[in-house]
Structure 1
Amino acid sequence: MPAGPRAPASPAGVSLDRTKLLAARLKATGSHPYLASALYSLTVVPSFEVPTMGVDRHWRCYVSPAFVDATPVPALAAVWIHEVAHLLRDHHRRAELLPSAVRHDHHRVNVAQDCEINDDLSSLPAGAMKPAMFGLPDGRLFEEYLGGIPATPHPPQCGSGAHGVPMPWESSAAARVSPAEAGAIRRQTAQALRAHAKARGRVPAGWSRWADEILEPTIDWRQALTGAVREAAAWAAGAVDYTYRRPSRRGAAVRGVVLPSLRRPMPRVAVVVDTSGSMGDEQLRAVLAEVAGVLRAVGIGHNRVAVLSCDADVHAVRQVATVGEVTLEGGGGTDMRVGIERALQARQRPQIVIVLTDGLTPWPPTAPSAARVVAGLVGDEAPSPPPWIETIRIPSR
């Protein structure tokens, strides 16, 4: 529930005004019809311990009878939407992915989550957390808000369905929604939102963005790049060769003869960096740092990596140990063909060529032999390279 004045404690025996509470839910479905299925999936659990309203990760909604008595129906309707938003946006799972140093302060996490939800909600009770209260812009995810949220002496208590930490007032006796059912509810809600937007044309920006992510999930480009490089490395390592550095154990059966053993070579990598005028130096260094992490994760050491700075010509070729050693020279036109060709002409020919570019370049007409090319296209509008190039799209921010 959004932070605000708490209702007086309910004395034992005071019952929940379900008529008022359900009237508020009906009002919520009237203003946000695409949320109807999700709102009616919540199980209401009256509780004298919960300060206002809160949810657990099993779609149980805990409600204070005193809070319902003290809150007008329009505000209660907004709180219904607020609480179901925590579950639809999978806040508890996202909270578990935070670094432990941040995750343990679940009150601060809850405030940031409320800011993500409340920026496009009206009629909330007084004191509801909104980004403007902290000098932050609307329209961000809670992970982006966290850095600007200070500790608060009056934290919200939205329950484990928000920050992921079980609260004393949560019960295991009431009906629950399974993770598989929750996934189906999210998808159904996203489809209903799309249909509503198409028919009516008016949907809050935060909800529209959420539906896009549910129906067309964005693959993290770092994971995609790691997978592409790992697959290319496995392909290159498949080219087995013989070596006498480690003699074959079968040689023990033949006196006086040393037999070679088979080896799977660790691939060499060339990173061709587009330093033309259309590429930002700061952005390139950030992407290079990620690429260095990918190569380490795959097990390719820096002594097997060459970095080439290239615009319409190749300006620098270096074996580097850290990203800080990379010299980004250039700033003219763009032609990644010369960078790829130069990389493949090296005395120690790479088996993997990673090209970081905005895509505004000509490409080689055919795939090189005995090498795989992976293109990291920086920017949302980057044109696609030829189909034989493994393509990873890197957002501009």
Structure 2
Amino acid sequence: MPAPGEPAPGAPALDRTKLLAARFKAAGDRPYLASALYSLTVVPTAAVPTMGVDRYWRCYVSPAFVDATPVEELAGVWIHEVAHLLRDHHGRASRLPAADQRDRARLNLAQDCEINDDLLADRLRLPASRVVPGDFGLPTGRLFEEYLAGVPPQPHPHDCGSGAHGVPAPWELPGRGGAASVGDVEAAALRRATAEAMRAHERSRGTLPGGWKRWAEQVLEPVVDWRRVLAGAVREAVAWAGGAVDYTYRRPSRRTPALRGVVLPSLRRPLPRVAIVIDTSGSMGDDELGAALAEVTGVLREVGVGANRVSVLACDADVQAVSRVTSAGQVELGGGGGTDMRVGIARALASRERPQVVIVLTDGFTPWPHEPQTCRLIAGLVGEDPPNPPGWVETVRVR
């Protein structure tokens, strides 16, 4: 097998003029991809069947493939390969279960499905050998993680390189040596610059493909792990509510033995009471609600707020049930009608054991109290694009 960058004996030399003309066309037709495309370093090799990329932004090119492919299709392949790198496919692949990471052929095909349906919708020409979700009976517009389970085992290898599936191919250069390369910091900057160029292009022309639009939004406005944010909000609210201290003689101060005949009280930090108001209207999903509720109850146990200090109110247009729980599995979600979380909040605050913290889990399509409450109020908004509650409500988006 010839080394990367060296032609095989008798193999045609790389037609760089044709290859670079195709890149020029790709960058001219999709100018928001120009910086990323021109960051790729060309490495000719007969060992790669078509074109592929490694994680260091080196593009391995078969001279025979370039000779056999029209410039317009080569431009589409350039965009396909750089899309693997822009969408961080190798980084995302590293977070999959080990068994999925080892099945490089299926993984690579799922990644190609994510890319190619967007490129074809953008009227780009690709070689006839390209794969799309419809080849496996899958819907368009999904991420490769969603496609992976629907791609059957493959008898023939399919390899776009470590820039796609994350595992170095035999035809790749070792590490970052041997040719110009792009490191992780530079790659992150390229992704952000490309996303900003896409947003500017959309504002001026309004023609950005849907898949690229979603990707640019994710890069420029990344979704923070809602579990971490929700846990932080609950911990901070509990600490705030329990911040008040008082004196008690039930446990005398440790200084008492030093003062003969005098009993000193000790300081006590009371644990707050917490109410969880759950939206059980028809628009809510049980899976999302269960995940959010499990997160909340787990954090409360962690900070020492036991089940005897937590009440759960299942609520749609009216309060359906009030129950004390020790785990999320004990909650029965009733209701299913309209939504008015004001009813649940008012019911919680009217109870004899008034809570200092109220956590509302809802899709956001509900009226809210007109003014700040006397308790700490946290809204966990479940689902896609929920409307914002009033500014004084602490908000965590559960996606």
Using the size of structure 1 for normalisation, the TM-score is 0.84
What is the DSSP-based 3-state SS (H/G/I as helix, E as strand, rest coil) of the residue aligned with 1:35?
helix
Aligned pair count? 383
In 2, distance between residues paired with 1:385 and 1:204?
A: 31
Unaligned runs of 5+ in 1: 1-8
Over 3 Å counting, the alpha-carbon distance change for 1:101 and 1:263 in structure 2 is: farther
Alignment of 1:119-130 (within 5 A): 119-121=117-119, 122-130=124-132
Determine which of 56, 59, 82 is the counterpart of 1:58: 56
| 1:140-193 Cα shifts (integer Å, max 9, x gaps) | 111111221222122321222112222233223122212222222222222222
Rounded Cα–Cα distance in structure 1 between residues aligned with 2:40 and 2:379: 46
SS at match of 2:118: coil
Q: Does 1:234 align with 2:239?
A: yes
CA contact (8 A) 1:302 1:319 kept: no
What amino acid does structure 1 have at the position aligned with 2:97?
P
- Over 3 Å counting, the alpha-carbon distance change for 1:41 and 1:321 in structure 2 is same
**Which residue, out of 208, 211, 215, partners 1:210?**
215
Which 10-residue stretch deviates more, 42-51 or 52-61?
42-51
Partner of 1:316: 321
Q: Kindly, what percent of the aligned residue pairs are identical? A: 65
Q: Which amino acid aligns with 2:332?
A: T
- Report deviation, 1:72: 2.9
Q: Which stretch shifts more, 142-151 or 294-303? A: 294-303
Question: Measured at CA, do residues 265 and 215 of structure 1 come closer, stay the same or move farther in structure 2, by a change above 3 Å?
Answer: same
TM-score (norm 2): 0.84
Cross-structure match for 1:97 = 95
Distance 1:290 1:274, change over 3 A: closer
Letter of the aligned partner of 1:73 in structure 2? V
Kindly indicate whether residue 188 of structure 2 is the aligned counterpart of residue 186 of structure 1.
no
User: Structure 1 residues 152 and 29, CA, compared in 2 at 3 Å: closer, same or farther?
Assistant: same
For residues 8-87 of structure 1, what are the structure 2 equivalents within 5 Å?
Answer: 11-12=8-9, 14=11, 15-87=13-85
Residue 377 (structure 2) aligned to one of 369, 373, 377: 373
Aligned to 1:168: 170
Contact 1:10–1:64 (Cα < 8 Å) also in 2? no
Is 2:185 aligned against 1:177? Answer: no
Q: Which residue of 2 aligns with 1:3?
A: none
Could you tell me whether the CA contact under 8 Å between 2:234 and 2:299 is conserved in 1? no
Q: Report the secondary structure of 1:120's partner residue.
A: helix
* Residue equivalent to 1:6: none
1:5 is aligned to: none
Give how far 1:247 is off: 6.4
Asked if structure 2 preserves the Cα contact closer than 8 Å seen for 1:312 and 1:338, the reply is yes
Task: Determine the C-alpha separation between the residues in 2 that align with 1:120 and 1:331.
Answer: 37
